[in-house]
Amino acid sequence: MAKIISGKEVSAFIQSKMTDEVKYLNEKGISVSLAVIIVGEDPASKVYVANKKKACEKLGIVSYEYALPENTTQQELLDLVNELNQRADVNGILCQLPLPKHLDETSVINAIDPDKDVDCFHPVNVGKVSIGNGKLLPCTPAGIMEMMKYEGISPEGKNCVVIGRSNIVGKPISSLLLNANGTVTTCHSKTKNLAEITSQADILVAAVGRPLFVTADMVKEGAVVIDVGIHRDENNKLCGDVDFASVEPKAGYITPVPGGVGPMTIAMLMCNTVTAAKIQNGVI
């Protein structure tokens, strides 16, 4: 029977540390702040933004919210980003994705000052992560690394398999595992003999975006299984990319859905915001 890695527990631990960091910076006369931009009325985006605002309030981070109408132009959005780039009282800038279809996400991401890019989507920060010297880290992948660290799981010398190659999770978690001296295989839709590869993984990260995709026959006995997916099954119940019921008895460690990787994303966003404030004030 696998040990459950609780994202709620680990994120509470991380956020407690960040509360102390924010107090320390405040005592030095440094305020920590995050500006969040949301365009349009996407319900899921509104929930995410509200959760980020709550997390900021809990930790003592100042939050600025810019809710723009659906018909905002590309130039208006870029002008706002540029204004926030220039403001010394703004440490982190986050533009909630997805944007309405008429807006170019890449241009907006590229316009954010890399030192304020708390999502770690800017090519400069992506490159730093790739070569192993990033200070701002992609939130979900960094959260996965923190969960393993909390449980005393080191990727060093382990066979690490990542299913999925998205820019948000798959590619960056592969980089972080490699930076931590794991032997990393990245699998995707064109991979042949997938189950043969995954069943040799000491650490298996499922970020494929397909519900209940990873089954017990794909998992090595005693493996660490990290489930990044979040979906609703035919009964409208939350589930992940991993078939938890069949995999949990075989795994050594496993993350649940919900309550696994999910809570870590906002915790690591808070970490990045604190790190950004330190960078901008010469504390790091």
The residues assigned a catalytic role are 52, 96, 119
Half-sphere exposure of 130 (CA within 13 A, CB side): 10
Q: Cα-Cα-Cα-Cα dihedral of 181, 183, 189, 191, to 10°?
A: 160
Task: Give the Cα separation of 41 and 106 in Å (integer).
Answer: 20
Question: How would you classify the pairing of strands 253-254 and 224-227?
Answer: parallel
